Amino acid sequence: YISHEMADYEDTLLFVATARDGDSVGDPPQDDIGEYRWTDTLNGVTTIIGNQKQLNIPARNLQPGWHSFTFSAKDKSGNWSPGVSFEVWIVEELHQYYMPFVYK
């Protein structure tokens, strides 16, 4: 779940992810996950920003620009998933304009 694709400094971003291990034997697949990792890449620099399934982060804590966030999980055997990435545009102040439409 991604709460925003565009955010200004007044917003709080909420990201929620889940993972399961398809090769687990005996335990439920979701119980075989040992670690989570959220990273943020901006201008080619990657930073680890969280280690839970859910990440809350105030947009004001991030620099303006396109951020590429990635979620990965590691099973209890030590294997990391390839990760899932998405982008969010952070601005100091977001101005949105809406075009009126007339339907006939």
Q: What pLDDT was estimated at residue 28?
A: 64
Mean pLDDT across the chain, nearest whole number?
86
> Does the pLDDT at position 36 exceed 80?
yes
Residue 20 pLDDT greater than 90, yes or no: no
What mean pLDDT do residues 65-70 have? 94
Average pLDDT rounded to a whole number, residues 91-102: 73
In sequence order, which residues have a C-beta less than 8 Å from that of residue 9 and are 6 or more positions away? 58, 59, 60, 91, 92, 93
Query: Which band of pLDDT confidence, cut at 50, 70 and 90, is reported for residue 97?
Result: low
12 confidence band (pLDDT: 50, 70, 90): very high
Identify the DSSP state of 103. -
Residue 96: what pLDDT? 64
Which DSSP state fits 2? Answer: B
Q: What is the pLDDT of residue 81?
A: 92
Judge residue 38's burial from the number of C-beta atoms within 10 Å of its C-beta, 0-12 exposed, 13-18 middle, 19 or more buried: buried
